[in-house]
Structure 1
Amino acid sequence: MVRRESLATLVVMGVLLAGCNRQSHPEPANPRPISETTGPMVPLAPESLIGSWTVVDVAEPGAGTILRLADGDLDLIGSRCGTVGGSWRASSDGTFLADIFTASTAAVEGIPGCEKASQETPEWLRRVTGYQFDGAGRPVLLDARAQPVARLIPGATPTPEPDKADDLLEPPMVTDEARRALAPAVALPATLVPVNRSQLTGRWVPRTGHRAAYVKFTADGEWRGSDGCNDESGRWITAASGTLLTTARGVTLMFCADSVSVGGWLVTARRAGLDGQILVLLDAQGTETGRLLPAN
């Protein structure tokens, strides 16, 4: 966690100014068998994604890099920009979301295009909306049509380098905290209508609190908002039965009265449903984290 905090200051302003010229993401399809040749699919357990993996069978730059998935933290190691990082989310229904927004200082200095790369998720990883395991228990990252984007081979070992944090060299462990964070979310209450991507896209405001607080979900899978005095941003994805997964990036820490932790609501939410026109966010235990109204 200390490493994340030390890197966040490099990109707080950059991620807020990053461009929006990205592809929209369709509603993820339910995962299905990826190939008859891989054998029967094994049950989904998102904590099984934790590990250091070599990325293979990806058509774009990224093949051969190491994807390290720890307890909420994500690192891409071995690209021409060195190590870039961010966060990831996954659910037991096969939904997956990744977000890149940090980099080591060495990666963003002196290499053309790397400062931007440290603030944007690579296109191949942006296409990933789901995951499955093949017959050998190896993860396969899927697009919205449940087609393979990349396969992950276990046992990757990063090469020690001067600018590489020591904790990146150790294989991540599945902790009790990670199991709790990735445990299946309770079903959406029957009184709520599961929200889908098209319904969620747009601007929403809290029912009470600072008048400048808001969140805007854009069709390219980004969200931006404010608690009233601090800008916030991240990525988002929805799936069947009201599943909602989000990431959040580093923010400033200005104080203002009546601030509303919209970003906190989103990060802890695992389900989203509509109560009439009101958007209701719920955590994995089914407890409401917040309510928002559509903004005209």
Structure 2
Amino acid sequence: MDRKELLNQVKDYFANSDHWRRLCAALAVDPDPQGSHLHAYVETSVHPDSLEAIITGYFEKLGWPSTRRIDHMAPKPGMGSLHGIEPKGKPHFDFQWFFNKDVGIRPCEGGESGCNLLVWNRWYINRFYEKFPFRQVGSQEEKTLDAYFRSEHFLKGLDIATQSTTNHMHINVRTSVHPEVIQKFAEAALDREGWKFDYTCPNVYMVKGNYQGKLVFMCRNPEVVFDIGWKFDPGVIIEPAMETWIFEENPGYDVWTSDMLAEVMRADYVRLSGEEIQQVLEACFPG
């Protein structure tokens, strides 16, 4: 693709596209940013390092500086993600891309559930929770929860989350306990293990064509984002889920690795120069 044409497409996407404006509008008006999450889907040939520089530069211009490291990962074969973008005071979101050598950048046709921009907020999550008859929590439930969050399964998950080859990971459990209760015990366990975290975001994610619950832990030290994926099971308080949810490897967990990202990065991406990135930002904020 001609470089001038590519650069013009990138300028037009960030300065004029409905897709980018809707994403920013959703970020701007959310009254509960720590309870919300977004996914955006694009096709692009631009290197993710360049996209990250444009996105963080754009938000800096708005007075929304990035508050944490942005992880690069591959959620599935052929798809990359700038994962955990968090402008200051706004919801965190994932900017997912599919490589297309003939495109600078443009919104996908579809992406997830037929949409190229998805928003989950507290209202959505509360409606999602209404599907489940969560059990009342008494002393036995509290003992079981405390024991789980001291267990080898949970502690091994924390170890996996900090490994250099891990781009992202989920600890998978079956439970009949409300996620807000699980969150309380999980955060206490993180405190006990000496982890520092900013907040926990309730969310959902796609498993075999259906949305399933998860809790997203936005950790500061170590600076990682890991999730507890949960599946409702009325017969148990909480226990490891050892069946396959996304990947067969690492039973009890789903782990997205640097090798998965390396496969996505084999494509011939175009790195923009610092001057070209500045031109994109000037197109978005003229004068």
What's the TM-score once normalised by structure 1's chain length?
0.33
Higher helix share: 2
Larger Rg: 2
User: Which structure ranks higher in relative contact order (CA pairs < 8 Å, sequence separation ≥ 6)?
Assistant: 2
